[in-house]
Structure 1
Amino acid sequence: MHILITGGTGFIGQALVPHLLQAGHRISILSRSRHRDTAQCTFLRSLEELSPDSAPDAVINLAGASLAGKRWTRAYKEELVASRVQGTRALVTYFAESAEPPRVLLSASAIGYYGPRGDDALTEEAAPGSGFSSELCQAWEQEAARAAEAGIRTCLLRLGVVLDRQGGALKEMALPFRFGVASWPGSGHQYLSWIHRQDVVAAMEFLLAEDTLAGPFNLTAPGPVTQREFCHAMRKHFRTLPGMPVPSPVMRLLLGEMAGELLLSGQRVLPAGLRRAGFEYRYPGIDDTLAAIFGTQAGDRLP
């Protein structure tokens, strides 16, 4: 299968591309940076570089600036909208008008779609929420859904917090633990809906292969945890003082609006769609996930 990937050099793409290549697929990556082609992986600077005889069978749209990348200034919000909403619009428009459109589009979204929802169990049938991140995800998905109107099987990937050793959110989340401080944001009772990066890759491969699957899918593990529970699980791998909160006012002062929407509130998101379709997780629980990432031996802990 020939697969075009946008955002293929990012955190998820760095795991996805080698996996798909090993499975025998041919990959094209749309990237603004210059990279050297290989026998099975071609880098493109624009969609116009696709030749008529090499139309992709599938498109995976991962492009977009990170929600947690910077403080949400007006300029960065505009960058988020441009990279996610406008980028997806251009991608879908190109392939909807193509003589040979792809059979399937997997387009990234995020669980921010649901907005702050407390302890509510949220499956794909839950209504969207409010706030900037929710409105951004809704607009992002609306652009991707236009591919379905053009007859392209479309899966919307509502990603939770993706965990792995080589980067992503865990790099920042682990930093205080590495300095001996176990902490959680605010009350710590808000839910963290997470997923191991290997399960993200496996879920994408699963959705590519299952021709009957379309619509939104929560790419989260079946075992969301509270921030306090996450802190307890992390302490098994680091020598730290007892856990303590980072007060909400401090979080808001440091990070502004982003703290309120991404860290001090949470969503308890469940992957009903993937489970119903028969997808099997390699890392369904937070303890096994962190053990795989940091090693099976728990670190020495202070009392």
Structure 2
Amino acid sequence: MRIAVTGSTGLIGSALVTMLTNGGHEVVRMRRPAEWDPDAGTVNASVLNGVDAVVHLAGENIAAGRWTATRKTRIRDSRVKGTKLIAETFGKMGKRPQVLVSASAIGYYGDRGAEVLREDSSPGHGFLADVCRQWEAATDTATRNGIRVVHLRTGIVLSEKGGALKQMLLPFKIGLGGRIGSGDQYWSWILLDDLTSAIVHCIQASGLHGAVNTVSPSPVTNLEFTKVLGRVLSRPTIFPLPAFAARFAFGEMADALLLASARVEPTKLLASRFIFRHKDLEAALREILR
């Protein structure tokens, strides 16, 4: 297949490009601003000619700094405007891609305690939930043009190369790790290689459309995650980060990313017979941190 990828230099995008290339697919890396520029509202449509699928991963890093009003605007616009631009471009093409696999996040569900969340669960409240709803709605033009659309509601992506885990490793390695807040909040996670495999599965499985929870079937509480990571690293985990301290350090972002609870189940992936390589958190962490 000929597959176009936005966000191809990020943690997920670069791993996906490698997997697709190794699988014999032709990958078109849509780089900014040569192939597309969401700020200017332009796409080089000729790049998409003959493309069978588009994987749209581009978006401002939500954890790159405190959520000032300016940062929140960039987070929202980079997702909503960029996705709308990609989707609307399809309507101007003669031969359109068969499928658009577009990033989203489990932030869609908001803070939901121990409630089990499936793809048909109602949306939550707050900034991230609002962004995710608008982000997914931005693909409506593609759907109207007969393109199968998949929204990847992704959880915490675990990789030694970057993302949340890499940021956690230093304090844990020097023995300063601990639970965040009460530790009761659920963290829904997925290893990077399972995520890239799930994306390829979504491209190829013609029956999959709409929201797809791309998370491991084994979510854990933050306290469980903390104990497992400490055990894998052979370090104590006796220094908790109180909720007030997290909010002081990270502002609004702390409530949305660190303290919110989302117990998410990958119902559609399991029903479509996707096989997770990593279901057990400890075994998964031992594999990538060995």
Place the TM-score, normalised by the shorter chain, in its bin: over 0.9
- 1:12 is paired with a residue whose SS is helix
- 1:63 is paired with a residue whose SS is coil
- 1:107 is paired with a residue whose SS is strand
Using the TM superposition, name which of 128-137 and 202-211 deviates more. 202-211
Using the TM superposition, name which of 124-133 and 233-242 deviates more. 233-242
CA RMSD of aligned residues (A): 1.5
Shift of 1:233: 0.7
Alignment counterpart, residue 66 of structure 1, candidates 61, 64, 87: 61
How do 1:1-303 and structure 2 match up within 5 A? Answer: 1-32=1-32, 44-45=35-36, 48-51=43-46, 54-295=49-290
Shift of 1:178: 1.5
Write the deviation string for residues 204-251 of structure 1: whole angstroms up to 9, x where unpaired: 111111112111100000000001100111012224234332011111
User: C-alpha distance in 2, partners of 1:115/1:182?
Assistant: 25
Structure 2 counterpart of 1:281, one-letter code: F
Indicate if the aligned counterparts of 1:183 and 1:246 stay in contact, CA closer than 8 A. yes
User: C-alpha distance in 2, partners of 1:144/1:191?
Assistant: 29
User: C-alpha distance in 1, partners of 2:63/2:129?
Assistant: 14
Shift of 1:45: 4.7
Give the alignment's TM-score, normalised by structure 2.
Answer: 0.95
User: C-alpha distance in 1, partners of 2:31/2:22?
Assistant: 21
Percent identical across equivalent pairs?
39
Query: How many pairs are equivalent?
Result: 286
Write the deviation string for residues 127-176 of structure 1: whole angstroms up to 9, x where unpaired: 00000000000000000233112100011100000001111111112221
User: C-alpha distance in 2, partners of 1:90/1:50?
Assistant: 11
Structure 1 counterpart of 2:35, one-letter code: L
Give the alignment's TM-score, normalised by structure 1.
Answer: 0.91
User: C-alpha distance in 1, partners of 2:126/2:48?
Assistant: 44
Distance 1:196 1:52, change over 3 A: closer
Indicate if the aligned counterparts of 2:105 and 2:132 stay in contact, CA closer than 8 A. yes
- The unaligned stretches of length 5 or more in structure 2 are none
Structure 2 counterpart of 1:24, one-letter code: G
Structure 1 counterpart of 2:19, one-letter code: H
- The unaligned stretches of length 5 or more in structure 1 are 34-42, 296-303
User: C-alpha distance in 1, partners of 2:48/2:90?
Assistant: 14
Using the TM superposition, name which of 48-57 and 70-79 deviates more. 48-57
